[in-house]
Amino acid sequence: MARTDVYATRFFNTWLLFPFFVPSYLFAIAWVVLALPQVGLLNQWLGGNLLNVYSFFGLVWVTCNAFLPMIITPLTQSFKKMDPSLEEAARICGASPLKTFLRISLPCQWSSVLGAALIFVFITLSSFGIPAIIGNPAKLFVLTTQIYTFSKMGGIRGVEQGFIVSLWLILFAWILASLGRKLKQHHSVALTTGKFSRQSLVALGKWKLPAFLFLAGLFTVFVLLPLGALVISSFFKVAGQISWSNVSLFNYHYVFKLQESRSALLNSLSLAVLGALTCCGLGLLISYSSYQLKTSGAGLLEKIACLPFSIPGTILALACVVSFGSGWGNPSLSLFGTPFLLWIAYVGKDLAIAVQNIGPAFQQIDKNLEEAGRVFGLGPLGVFDRILFPLIFPALKSAFLLCALPMLSELTMSVLLFGPGTETLGTLIFQLQDYSNPLAACALATLLILFLGLGTLLLKGFSKESHL
């Protein structure tokens, strides 16, 4: 997609990355619909019992499906930034396109490959939704599901055991990060030079159509098939029965009639809006202090704000339970099971997104604009109100949506922190899928995807506006 003249590059660059905006546990539900033994849609279509999603291979496959964009995005950007003169020199010396890739392009990209692999491993280590939906029925337990079991079933003692398991998770992440850093430094190559050079695309020739079909197959299997299965199954009255008589709006009627659905929708929307507003407000204060006022300690505060984003959600949720769940010896002050604890966890986790989006917006503002405002008699507040704020407002809108979209569908922390009456869309879908009505879970998941799709379109619109 980055260095060849394959067909429909722009389409694949957009839609192969769409799983990035979809919660991973929705892909787990989709593949349960597709590859459930006997009644799975694919098993019925293939005329046998060939696929079993409740297996180790099924767990690995769904994980790859959900987190594929974590590999594609950094590698695509790295290949785009690579100086094409390195490959052109090899071609001038008589190397074929394949030999150039194997001897020049790929060795230069080993650092990016290792970085993308580490991102994938870290996200997999902290993933909860896929192991819970796929792994638990198959008796394939991982650290995050074990932490959930301890904290939900073992009382105070269980929380302590959950923290012990969390230490293993942190230890694995630390070892991998240290090892990955050394490997990336060993294979690091300077790919971006100070001079501008045109992007060199490899002419695929007779391989152009096969390459296109390969990308089209990836799009079909990893995006169209699972998301389409969710939508189709949401209209079935009986799971796995493919017939027009089985099509109805019963599941949507069930979802809209369910009291928990209304409270979950209200809770998720409220938490997403309030949490995103809080992240943007705090991110604005931190970034303004760091980049405009240059207050001492603001840089350290920025680093502290970004730290929780690198901590797995299960560990952060346990930390919130221990810090705010006991009420500090007074049960009436306990926040456990309340929306406030969810709000604290959401803001703590996603504050880094706001800081990392608003900070660069301040850096891009020329200091002469502020000085011109002061020359015309504006004070510090007037400069911020009349000059700075309008310029960073597009970045604020993007940061709001980037924070709100994950909060709207969050599951990993919510499943440990919610209580009666504080269900969210993520926890309700998880409960419907695991305990009561999987087809209703498909209907609610379809509605959630529509919400996320609308948010993604708005985000792209704001991104275009910020580049004007």
- Cβ contact 120:67 at 8 Å: yes
Q: Is 431 helix (H, G, I), strand (E, B) or coil?
A: helix
pLDDT of residue 199: 64
**CATH at residue 340:** 1.10.3720.10
Q: Which residue, 233, 266, 281, sits at the end of a domain?
A: 233
Report the pLDDT averaged over residues 369-381. Answer: 81
pLDDT of residue 23: 87
Per-residue pLDDT at 463 exceeds 60? no
Separation CA 366–CA 352 (nearest Å): 24
Is 239 inside a domain boundary?
A: no
**Token representation of residue 69:** 């964009």
- How many domains does the chain divide into? 2
Is 175 inside a domain boundary?
A: yes
Is 156 inside a domain boundary?
A: yes
One-letter amino acid at 109 equals Q
Q: Which residues are CB-neighbours of 18 under 8 A, at least 6 positions away?
A: 69, 223, 456
222 lies in the same domain as 276? no
Classify burial at 24, counting beta carbons within 10 Å of its beta carbon; exposed 0-12, middle 13-18, buried 19 or more: buried
pLDDT of residue 253: 92
- Cβ contact 325:334 at 8 Å: yes
Q: Please state, rounded to an integer, the average pLDDT across all residues of the chain.
A: 83
In this structure, how many other beta carbons lie within 10 angstroms of the beta carbon of residue 387? 17
Q: Which residue, 169, 202, 233, sits at the end of a domain?
A: 233
pLDDT of residue 109: 79
Is 247 inside a domain boundary?
A: no
Is 123 inside a domain boundary?
A: yes
95 lies in the same domain as 27? yes
Angle at 403 between CA 401 and CA 408, to 5 degrees: 85
What's phi and psi for 4, nearest 5 deg? -125, 170
Higher pLDDT, 190 or 96: 96
Helix, strand, coil percentages (3-state) for the chain, rounded to 5, are 75, 0, 25
Is 88 inside a domain boundary?
A: yes
Separation CA 202–CA 182 (nearest Å): 32
130 lies in the same domain as 9? yes
Per-residue pLDDT at 194 exceeds 70? no
Per-residue pLDDT at 468 exceeds 50? no
Report the pLDDT averaged over residues 371-387. Answer: 82
What's phi and psi for 193, nearest 5 deg? -100, 170
pLDDT of residue 294: 76
223 lies in the same domain as 289? no
pLDDT of residue 278: 95
Residues of the chain with pLDDT > 90: what percent? 25
Looking up tokens 């931190």, which residue turns up? 286
269 lies in the same domain as 382? yes
Report the pLDDT averaged over residues 222-233. Answer: 92
Q: Which residues are CB-neighbours of 87 under 8 A, at least 6 positions away?
A: 100, 104, 105, 200
Q: State the distance between the two ends of the chain, measured CA to CA, in whole angstroms.
A: 26
Per-residue pLDDT at 219 exceeds 90? yes
Q: Which domain holds residue 354?
A: 253-468
- Cβ contact 106:191 at 8 Å: no
Separation CA 374–CA 368 (nearest Å): 10
Q: Which residue, 198, 233, 268, sits at the end of a domain?
A: 233
Report the pLDDT averaged over residues 36-40. Answer: 84
pTM over 0.95: no
310 lies in the same domain as 212? no
Separation CA 292–CA 295 (nearest Å): 8
Q: Work out the pLDDT band at 189, boundaries 50, 70, 90.
A: low
In this structure, how many other beta carbons lie within 10 angstroms of the beta carbon of residue 43? 20
Per-residue pLDDT at 193 exceeds 50? no
Separation CA 253–CA 237 (nearest Å): 11
Residues of the chain with pLDDT > 70: what percent? 91
259 lies in the same domain as 118? no
148 lies in the same domain as 280? no
Separation CA 150–CA 146 (nearest Å): 6
Report the pLDDT averaged over residues 413-425. Answer: 89
135-179 pLDDT per residue, tens: 988 899 888 888 888 877 766 677 778 778 878 777 777 777 677
Per-residue pLDDT at 197 exceeds 60? no
Q: Which residues are CB-neighbours of 90 under 8 A, at least 6 positions away?
A: 99, 100, 103, 104
Is 136 inside a domain boundary?
A: yes
188 lies in the same domain as 107? yes
93 lies in the same domain as 141? yes
CA 378 to chain CA centroid, nearest Å: 42
6 lies in the same domain as 41? yes
218 lies in the same domain as 261? no
Higher pLDDT, 321 or 274: 274
Is 325 inside a domain boundary?
A: yes
